[in-house]
Amino acid sequence: MRFIPRPSKWKYYTMLFVVNTIGRMPIGWRYGIARIVSDRVYDWRPSIRNNVRSNVRHVLGPEASEEEVDRVARQCARNTGRYYADVVGMHRIDVFRFLETELVLEGVDYVREAQAAGHGVVLASAHYANPEFAVQGLAAAGIKVFALVEPLRPPELGRLMRSLRAVHGHEYQEVSFGAIKNAIAWLRAGGVVAILVDRDIQKRGVEIDFCGYPAKFPTGAVDLAMRTGSVLIPGWVRRTGGFKVRATIGPPLPLVLTGHTDDDLRLNTARILALFEQHLREDPGQWSVVDRIWPDDVEPRDRPPAFEEAAGREAVQ
């Protein structure tokens, strides 16, 4: 009898095949294949192309030409392809050599200082360039990370992706009630938790202005820091040419705590996103998000003056 995989598992079998074929190739070959595949997906999948173009249009603003939007959107698609090309071969890299020759890792002392003072660290980043590489670099620097990641289906695919990511010593768990409890325990023990802030995966986010337009974003990074008294440290990654990556950690972002939990969650999340917005606008083509962030009919808004005032206040810890 011929074995036919269930349709729900095709993503798992495809990824398994890619890991055991393309994942064994040199990184230059993987990037070349990723570029070809990304271009075909961008050209042939209107839903993905329209999502990416919508995101880019909101970042660049209404004055950007259609040609500019299309050029940057294609860069985003190609960067997403490079991200997966990295992931399928990441378990084979020598992280110590990678840290020495290809990754510039700045700001690690901020993490060490927080831990030395007895605090956990919430490391907040975004789907920009490849934050996975920065995390693997931290392994080589002697810092173990607990990372909350997007649940994947089928479950076999989720397990495969976690095994690829965790091979160098980190802990990866899909976002769930149990995983959040584990993250809180990890932070209270003085550990580092990594979480991304630019996609509302669970559809429980709050509305925040980003690039001048309101959209919903998760508050998980701030929530974890508030619950545990941990230090919140933003960290951004950028591809700098060829196979090299620069990861900049910190400085810490002191929390504004007024005693009104919902307001504090929204305000501090907005402050993180404002930092990411500055980073994103420098090179929007490195944003690797293919889901639509803003509804197409959303109207631009000016950031209220209260935001700037609150962003500069001292934290009440």
> Whose CA is closest to 154, among 10, 5, 3?
10
Q: pLDDT by residue for the chain (317 residues), tens digit each?
A: 455 555 468 889 999 999 999 999 999 999 999 999 999 999 999 999 999 999 999 999 989 999 999 999 999 999 999 999 999 998 898 989 988 899 999 999 999 999 999 999 999 999 999 898 888 889 989 999 999 988 888 889 989 999 988 888 899 999 889 999 999 999 999 999 999 999 988 888 999 999 999 999 999 999 999 999 999 999 999 999 888 999 999 999 999 999 999 999 999 999 999 999 999 999 999 999 999 999 876 666 655 444 444 444 444 34
Task: Report the alpha-carbon distance of residue 134 to residue 146 in Å, rounded.
Answer: 13
26 found inside a domain: no
Can you give the pLDDT at residue 9? 84
Give domain status of residue 170, yes or no.
yes
Give domain status of residue 133, yes or no.
yes
Would you state the pLDDT for residue 133?
81
Evaluate whether residue 38 is within a structural domain.
Answer: no
Q: Is residue 176 part of a domain?
A: yes
pLDDT of residue 201: 84
Total of domains in the chain: 1
- Tell me, yes or no, if the pTM score tops 0.95: no
Residue 290 lies in a domain: yes
Which pLDDT belongs to residue 299? 62
**Any idea what the CATH number is for the domain that residue 211 is in?**
3.40.1130
CA separation for the pair 146, 187 (Å, rounded): 9
pLDDT (tens digit per residue) in 236-267: 999 998 889 999 999 999 999 999 999 999 99
Q: Is residue 304 part of a domain?
A: yes
Strands 244-249 and 103-106: parallel
Distance of CA 182 to the CA centre of its chain: 20
Q: Which residue segment(s) compose the domain that 120 sits in?
A: 95-311
Q: CB neighbours (10 Å) of residue 191?
A: 18
Kindly state whether residue 19 falls inside one of the protein's structural domains: no
> CA-CA distance, 148 to 90, in Å (whole number)?
18
